[in-house]
Structures are given as structure tokens and as C-alpha cells.
């Protein structure tokens, strides 16, 4: 018999962790001489108070949905993919190549091609660490970290020497053709008569990312492969005994994970600045870790945390404009969320379990 | 390329290898005791910030060093509470520590100094001076000895020499003391150590505190000796390179020195020749930056021997009941 009911496990524990993380963040804000309540108000109005704010919040949410999903799928197979950052960078390369060198007649063909290319590139970047884990047994965490740095150097080189237009000093590609502009929420919601700000970059990729969440859920809980992935994640020995090939699961889970991280670039490159710039990923690969931990690595469970981090990301920018709190404040919040929902999980869980046991005994 | 260039390269190799060396030895103690430490990067960064700011405020590099060590040990203890006491995932805890350091240093620096996440430049006693070794001047013109002793090894901060001294010290502690034997055992087979009546928890805490102290010195070196002040993200991946060096060295102290000297030299070469012309091809700067990571992947792929980590690494120890 489990010590806690399921709702407590999936909702209460992450919520309490979140409250602790936020309380500590408020203390940090107090310590640097700012008012946490006013900071919270500014963040809420800045990110949720207008359709302009929502346009950015949902744009970031899209990034975090995809990277969070990427980390989650790997987590389900008990693989810790820290390489989402690098995989998304290389995914951006795929998007840029497809958008720059093929004359697409319309945006949706280009988008499908960009999704496929970014997924392929991202998966490729995850393939070597996966293979090293599966064959040589070298730790995936170490190799994916190394691949993040290699990706950063590679993109740095390509953007400053190869893909940069000769007329420009900026290490970035040329702007994509205007035909390739993805429909934004302004265009989409305009169809049903909802007035939405023109400037927020949230675009059609939001719906595609949500669709990917549903697909991932179906894959994990409604297919044989998904069952094998979860079985492998629960117990490698048992999975082996059941005839599940560890090589296959490690490769498949990491390839899917890398592909999902790669597709994030379609949003952040094609949907955002419409050209590939240095640091197009902006740490979204790492935020995916926090999102996956909070969402208990469940494809549907990560939707709320992705929105939360979208809110924090946009709210944090507003905060940096309005107050003396730097944007890096959200990195602290992100760190605390990872710490309390991930590493210090037992600290929250144990007392709760004891509490529930005590309550049950009395009943 | 003349001899003077070689001497310069070796001299800056030693300077650039020092922060890597401290971080690598820190990782060595921690991982040999069975605690993965992804958080080396964060500890270097937080130590660099606190030592630079305290050195600026007090005007003493030594007080700065103490503050850096204190901050780094505190971060180590957070890692310890998460991964030893609450048996959390050590990798996740390390990731959190890195982000905490990255965010915290900038936010606090902005609040204290209002200079966009940096400390004011350090001058005078707030930095570690370069030391002159005895007889270095007299030997300066002697061939070979003069170049090695008088130029490459001479004129470094005291922390560089202390770093070099830490290598035999680490070897001696790990392989010649009872504490070292137990430390290595707890990373391989904690149950056996526990059976012998020795506290696994205490040993592991000791290991991560040592790691904190070493990272603290490395971070202080970054901001108060190598550079003159703290700037945002100044550890610049050195904690991860140290992790790579640790794998390269297969968790052994003398090999760790070799590995960090190799990676330090790559950095020195990349600084000296942004685009290295090898005659046949020109290697871009970015390739040199990525080379430590590429080399580590090659090592991990098993092309050059096999890197086997301590067996109990990453596993929280649960006492049998």
C-alpha cells in the first residue's frame, strides 16, 4: 500500500516544493532591498496583464514545452539528458539551412520541412552520447554536457565564418524570406474574432507543441515502445529479463528526446527573430530540466510548469526593466525549483508521507 | 617559433591550468567518495564572486580567499544535504547548484556594486601578488634550468604553487592515510565500510567539504589572481573542463595534473593564436575551445583505454535494516 494518495504525489508534493522555492526567492529579493510583493505584481501585469505580455509568455512557453518534453521522455527511460541546449542549437542549424537555401512556396510547407530538419539535427546531436551510453557505458550526463559545449563552439564558428552574410558584422544568418513568417496568435485568433496583440511572437508552434505533448502521452502509455521505455526506466534488470533490448531503448529514447529539443528551434528561430542568431536557445534546454522535474516527467503534466516558466521568463524581463532586479533573478528561481522538486524531493515527501500515514491510522 | 614563444606558452599554461587543477582535485575527492559533482562550475563561480567582493571591500586578498572558500563550502554542504542526507539525485542537485551560482552572483553583484553584475577592479593587496622564487634571477640566463625555473615556474601567485603542492598532498592523503583508504572504499563499496563500523555519511561529508575548500581556492584564484575582479559567468565552463580532466585522468591525482596541464595548454595556444595555421589547414579558435570536450568524448568512447568511475558513484547509500 502506498503511503500517499496519488493526488498528493503528483500535485501536493510539487506544489509545496514550488512554494518553498518561491518563498526563498522572495527572501533573496528582500535581501537585495526590493519589495517581493511589488515584484510579483509587476511580473503578473508584465506577462499576463495584456495580450502583448501573453504573446511573449506563450512564446517562451512553447520553447519550454518542447525542451521539457525532451527531458521528460529521456527521464522516463531513466536517462538524464542535459544536452537539450546543444540539441536545440543544432536543431536551429537545421531550421536555418532549410529556410535559407530552399525557396519554399509557402510557410506551412517550410514549417513542416523545418520541423523535420530540426528534429533530425537534434536527434543526430543526441545520437553520439546515446550510442556511447549504450555501447561504452559512459555516463550520458557527462557526454551531453560535453556536446553542449561542442555545439556552442560549432555554432559560434558557423555563424561567424560560414553562414554570416558578407555585408554583416553580426554573427547571425541573413533574415529568412518573408513568405516563411509563421502565423502568430494575432493572425490565428483573428480568424475567430479575438483581438490579440500583433507584436507578441507566440505562433502556431504553440499548438504543435501541445499536440506533441498529446502524441508523447500516447506513445508512452498506449504503445508497446512506450511501455518498453517506461519498463526500462523503472528497472533495467527487469526490462532485460523481459527481453527488452537496452541498446534499443537508450537509442530510441535519446533520439526522440534530441528530436524534440531540436524542434524547439522552429519556434525560437522561425517564429521569433526569423534568422539564426548566436544563443538562439537562451537556456531553454536547461529550463526543460526544471519543467520536466515539476511535471513529474509526464507529457501532460509538464504543460502547467512550462506555462509557469513562460510566465517567469517574460515577467523576469519586465522586472529587469521596471526595477533594479536583474533578469538573472529567474535563474535563481529556476535553480531553486530544480533543487526542491528534483534533488530535495525526499525532504518534502517524507514528512508528508508520515502525515498521511498518521491521518489514516486515526481514521 | 622560437624558444621565447615556447616559454611564454608554458608559462601561461601553468597559470590557466591552476583553476582547473583545484576544481579537478575537488572533483577527485568528491567522486572518489561516491558523490558525483556536476556543481564544480557553480562552486568556482560563487567562490570567484565572494572572494573578489570581500577582497575589494577589505582590501585583502587573503580575506577574500577565506570568503571564497566559505561560500564554496556552503554550496558543497547544500549538495551534501540534498544528495547524502536526503538521498536526492546528485546530478540534479549539481545542476541546481550551477544555476544557483550563475543567478546569485549576478543578482548580488548588481545589488552590491551596481556595475552590471561585476565587482569593481581590484588593485594592490586585494589581489594575489606574483612571487619571485629564490635564486630565480641568478639562474635566469642559465640555459634550460633558467628557462624552466627562472621563467616558466617563476613569477606566479602563491596559489599556483599551492595548487601544484596539492597534487602530491592529494596522492598522499588518498593512498597513504587511513582516511584516504576509507574514502576510496566508500566510493567503491559503502556497505563494506559501513559493516566495518565507519560512518558512510561522515566520510562523504568530509569529502565534499574538502571539495568545497579546493573549489573555493580555485575560484578565488580566478578573480583575485588570474583576473582583477569578478565578471559575470567568469568560470566560463572551467568546472566542466575540470570534470572532463577528471575522466581523462581516470580519477587519479598525478594524471589529473597531466590532464589539466594539457587542457590549460590548449587554452594558452588558443589565446596566443586565435587561428592556428598548421600549414595544411587552419584551425579556428572555436575548434581549440571545443577540443577539451572532444578529447574527453574520444576517451569516453573507449578508443584510448577505458575510464571506469568509482563503482558506487551517484548512488545514495541506504543502510540495511
Say whether B230 sits in a helix, a strand or coil.
Answer: coil
Q: State residue B303's pLDDT score.
A: 67
Q: Give B28-57 pLDDT, tens digit per residue.
A: 999 999 999 999 999 999 999 999 999 999
Closest CA to A172 of A161, A164, A184: A164
By the CB < 8 Å criterion, does B240 face chain A? yes
Q: Are B315 and B34 in contact (CB under 8 A)?
A: yes
Q: What average pLDDT does range A80-96 have in this prediction?
A: 95
Residues 79-108 of B with CB under 8 A from A: 81-83, 86-93, 95-100, 102-104, 106-108
Alpha carbon distance B181, B160 (integer Å): 27
CB contact under 8 A, A145 and B243: yes
Say whether A223 sits in a helix, a strand or coil.
Answer: coil
CB contact under 8 A, B103 and A328: yes
∠ at Cα A244 (A243, A248), nearest 5°? 140
3-state percent breakdown (helix, strand, coil) of chain B, nearest 5: 70, 0, 30
B40-58 and B200-221 are packed helices; what angle lies between their axes, rounded to 10 degrees?
50
Mean pLDDT score across all residues of chain B: 88
Q: Which of B244, B290, B302 sits opposite A136 (nearest CB)?
A: B302
B136 contacts: CB under 8 Å, gap ≥ 6: B149, B150, B154, B155
Helix (H) or strand (E) holding A179: none
A19 contacts: CB under 8 Å, gap ≥ 6: none
Chain B residues near residue A328 by CB distance under 8 angstroms:
102-103, 106-107, 117
Q: Which of B38, B103, B294 sits opposite A335 (nearest CB)?
A: B103
User: Shortest Cα distance from B57 to chain A (angstroms)?
Assistant: 17
Residue A256: CB atoms within 10 A of its CB come to 24
Q: Are A160 and A154 in contact (CB under 8 A)?
A: no
Considering the entire predicted model, what is its pTM? 0.90
By the CB < 8 Å criterion, does B294 face chain A? yes
Q: What average pLDDT does range A215-224 have in this prediction?
A: 96
| Substitution target from B79, B92, B287 for chain A, most A beta carbons within 10 A | B92
Q: Are B23 and B215 in contact (CB under 8 A)?
A: yes
User: Shortest Cα distance from A205 to chain B (angstroms)?
Assistant: 28
- Cell numbers linked to B73: 563550502
Q: Which residue of B has its CA nearest to A320?
A: B107
CA A104, A110, A112, A117 dihedral sign is positive
By the CB < 8 Å criterion, does B197 face chain A? no
Chain A residues near residue B290 by CB distance under 8 angstroms:
149-150, 153-154
Q: Are B131 and A352 in contact (CB under 8 A)?
A: no
Closest CA to A302 of A121, A86, A63: A63
By the CB < 8 Å criterion, does B25 face chain A? no
Say whether A127 sits in a helix, a strand or coil.
Answer: helix
Q: Which of A82, A143, A347 sits opposite B300 (nearest CB)?
A: A143
Helix ranges restricted to H, chain A: 6-7, 13-31, 36-48, 51-76, 84-101, 107-131, 140-157, 185-191, 205-222, 224-234, 236-241, 246-265, 284-294, 303-322, 329-338, 345-362
User: Shortest Cα distance from A156 to chain B (angstroms)?
Assistant: 7
Q: State residue B1's pLDDT score.
A: 63
Alpha carbon distance A203, B5 (integer Å): 55
Q: Give A305-351 pLDDT, tens digit per residue.
A: 999 999 999 998 888 888 888 888 889 988 998 899 888 888 888 88
Q: Percent of chain B having pLDDT more than 70? A: 98
Q: Are B275 and B284 in contact (CB under 8 A)?
A: yes
Q: Give A267-306 pLDDT, tens digit per residue.
A: 999 988 889 998 888 889 999 998 998 898 999 999 999 9
Q: State residue B27's pLDDT score.
A: 95
Q: What is the ipTM of this complex?
A: 0.90
Closest CA to A270 of A62, A92, A109: A92
Chain B residues near residue A149 by CB distance under 8 angstroms:
237, 240, 289-290, 293
Alpha carbon distance B252, B260 (integer Å): 12
User: Shortest Cα distance from B81 to chain A (angstroms)?
Assistant: 8
| Backbone phi, psi, residue B154, to 5° | -85, 165
B124 contacts: CB under 8 Å, gap ≥ 6: B59
Give the burial string for B52-63 (b: 16+ CB within 10 Å, else e): bbbbbbeebbbb
User: Shortest Cα distance from B287 to chain A (angstroms)?
Assistant: 7
Q: What average pLDDT does range A183-203 have in this prediction?
A: 87
Residue B199: CB atoms within 10 A of its CB come to 13
Kindly tell me if the per-residue pLDDT of A204 is higher than 70.
Answer: yes
Q: Which of A32, A142, A145 sits opposite B108 (nearest CB)?
A: A32
CB contact under 8 A, A332 and B284: no
Alpha carbon distance A218, B313 (integer Å): 35
Q: Which of B38, B114, B284 sits opposite A157 (nearest CB)?
A: B284
Length, in residues, of chain A? 363
Q: Give A42-69 pLDDT, tens digit per residue.
A: 999 999 989 999 999 999 999 999 999 9
Q: State residue A362's pLDDT score.
A: 85
Rg of chain A over all Cα atoms, to the nearest angstrom: 21
List C-alpha distances in Å: B247 to A91, A218, B42, B254, B268.
Answer: 28, 39, 19, 13, 21
Helix (H) or strand (E) holding B246: helix B238-248
A222 contacts: CB under 8 Å, gap ≥ 6: none
B288 contacts: CB under 8 Å, gap ≥ 6: B266, B267, B269, B270, B276
Residue A212 pLDDT grade (very low, low, confident, very high; cuts 50, 70, 90): very high
Q: State residue B173's pLDDT score.
A: 95
Kindly tell me if the per-residue pLDDT of B119 is higher than 70.
Answer: yes
Say whether B268 sits in a helix, a strand or coil.
Answer: helix
User: Shortest Cα distance from B235 to chain A (angstroms)?
Assistant: 14
Alpha carbon distance B130, B156 (integer Å): 5
Chain B residues near residue A347 by CB distance under 8 angstroms:
86, 88
Closest CA to B80 of B232, B210, B196, B261: B210
By the CB < 8 Å criterion, does B174 face chain A? no
Alpha carbon distance B67, B55 (integer Å): 9
Q: What average pLDDT does range A230-242 have in this prediction?
A: 91
β-pairing verdict for B282-283 and B276-277: antiparallel
Amino acid at each position: 500500500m502506498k503511503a500517499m494518495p496519488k493526488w498528493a504525489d503528483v500535485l501536493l508534493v510539487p506544489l509545496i516544493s514550488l512554494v518553498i522555492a518561491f518563498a526563498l526567492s522572495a527572501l533573496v529579493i528582500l535581501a537585495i532591498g526590493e519589495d517581493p510583493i511589488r515584484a510579483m505584481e509587476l511580473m503578473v501585469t508584465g506577462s499576463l496583464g495584456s495580450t502583448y505580455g501573453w504573446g511573449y509568455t506563450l512564446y517562451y512557453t512553447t520553447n519550454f514545452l518542447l525542451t521539457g518534453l525532451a527531458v521528460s521522455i529521456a527521464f522516463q527511460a531513466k536517462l538524464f539528458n542535459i544536452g537539450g541546449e546543444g540539441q536545440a542549437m543544432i536543431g536551429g542549424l537545421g531550421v536555418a539551412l532549410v529556410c535559407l537555401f530552399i525557396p519554399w512556396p509557402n510557410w506551412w510547407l517550410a514549417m513542416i520541412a523545418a520541423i523535420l530538419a530540426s528534429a533530425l539535427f537534434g536527434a543526430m546531436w543526441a545520437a553520439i552520447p546515446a550510442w556511447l551510453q549504450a555501447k561504452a557505458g559512459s555516463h550520458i550526463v557527462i557526454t551531453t554536457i560535453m556536446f553542449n559545449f561542442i555545439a556552442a563552439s560549432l555554432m559560434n564558428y558557423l555563424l561567424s565564418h560560414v553562414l554570416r552574410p558578407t555585408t554583416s558584422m553580426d554573427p547571425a544568418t541573413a533574415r529568412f524570406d518573408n513568405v516563411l513568417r509563421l502565423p502568430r496568435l494575432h493572425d490565428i485568433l483573428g480568424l475567430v474574432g479575438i483581438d490579440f496583440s500583433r507584436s507578441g511572437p507566440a505562433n502556431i508552434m504553440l499548438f504543435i507543441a501541445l499536440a506533441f505533448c498529446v502524441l508523447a502521452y500516447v506513445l508512452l502509455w498506449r504503445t508497446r515502445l512506450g511501455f518498453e521505455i517506461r519498463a526500462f526506466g523503472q528497472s533495467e534488470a527487469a526490462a532485460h529479463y523481459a527481453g527488452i533490448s537496452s541498446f534499443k531503448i537508450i537509442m530510441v529514447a535519446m533520439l526522440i528526446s534530441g528530436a524534440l529539443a531540436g524542434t524547439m528551434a522552429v519556434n525560437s528561430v522561425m517564429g521569433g527573430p526569423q534568422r539564426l542568431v548566436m544563443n538562439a536557445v537562451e537556456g531553454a534546454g536547461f529550463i526543460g530540466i526544471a519543467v520536466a522535474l515539476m511535471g513529474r516527467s509526464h507529457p501532460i503534466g509538464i504543460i502547467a510548469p512550462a506555462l509557469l516558466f513562460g510566465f517567469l521568463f517574460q515577467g523576469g524581463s519586465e522586472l529587469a526593466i521596471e526595477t533594479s532586479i536583474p533578469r538573472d533573478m529567474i535563474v535563481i528561481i529556476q535553480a531553486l525549483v530544480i533543487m526542491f522538486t528534483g534533488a530535495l524531493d525526499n525532504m518534502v515527501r517524507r514528512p508528508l508521507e508520515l502525515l498521511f500515514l498518521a491521518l489514516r491510522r486515526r481514521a | 617559433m622560437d624558444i621565447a614563444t615556447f616559454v611564454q606558452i608554458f608559462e601561461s599554461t601553468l597559470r590557466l591550468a591552476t583553476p582547473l587543477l583545484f576544481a579537478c582535485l575537488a572533483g577527485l575527492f568528491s567522486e572518489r567518495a561516491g558523490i558525483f559533482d556536476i556543481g564544480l562550475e557553480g562552486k568556482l563561480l560563487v567562490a570567484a564572486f565572494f572572494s573578489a567582493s570581500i577582497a575589494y571591500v577589505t582590501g585583502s586578498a587573503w580575506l577574500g580567499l577565506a570568503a571564497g572558500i566559505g561560500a564554496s563550502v556552503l554550496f558543497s554542504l547544500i549538495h551534501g544535504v540534498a544528495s547524502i542526507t536526503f538521498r536526492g539525485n546528485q546530478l540534479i542537485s549539481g545542476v541546481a547548484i550551477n544555476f544557483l551560482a550563475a543567478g546569485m552572483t549576478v543578482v548580488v553583484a548588481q545589488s552590491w556594486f551596481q556595475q552590471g553584475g561585476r565587482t569593481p577592479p581590484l588593485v594592490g593587496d586585494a589581489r594575489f601578488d606574483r612571487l619571485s622564487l629564490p635564486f630565480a634571477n641568478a639562474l635566469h640566463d642559465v640555459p634550460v634550468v633558467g628557462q624552466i625555473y627562472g621563467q616558466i615556474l617563476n613569477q606566479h601567485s602563491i596559489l599556483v604553487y599551492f595548487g601544484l603542492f596539492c597534487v602530491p598532498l592529494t596522492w598522499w592523503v588518498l593512498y597513504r592515510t587511513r582516511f584516504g583508504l576509507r574514502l576510496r572504499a566508500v566510493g567503491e563499496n559503502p556497505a563494506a565500510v559501513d559493516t566495518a563500523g565507519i560512518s558512510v555519511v561522515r566520510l562523504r561529508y568530509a569529502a565534499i567539504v574538502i571539495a568545497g575548500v579546493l573549489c573555493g581556492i580555485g575560484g578565488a584564484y580566478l578573480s583575485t589572481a588570474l583576473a582583477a575582479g569578478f565578471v559575470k559567468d567568469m568560470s566560463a565552463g572551467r568546472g566542466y573542463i575540470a570534470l572532463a580532466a577528471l575522466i581523462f585522468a581516470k580519477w587519479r591525482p598525478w594524471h589529473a595534473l597531466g590532464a589539466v596541464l594539457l587542457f590549460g595548454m590548449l587554452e594558452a595556444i588558443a589565446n596566443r593564436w586565435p587561428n592556428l595555421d598548421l600549414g595544411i589547414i587552419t584551425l579556428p579558435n572555436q575548434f581549440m575551445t571545443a577540443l577539451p570536450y572532444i578529447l574527453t568524448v574520444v576517451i569516453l568512447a573507449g578508443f584510448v583505454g577505458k575510464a571506469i568511475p568509482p563503482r558506487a558513484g551517484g548512488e545514495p547509500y541506504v543502510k540495511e535494516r
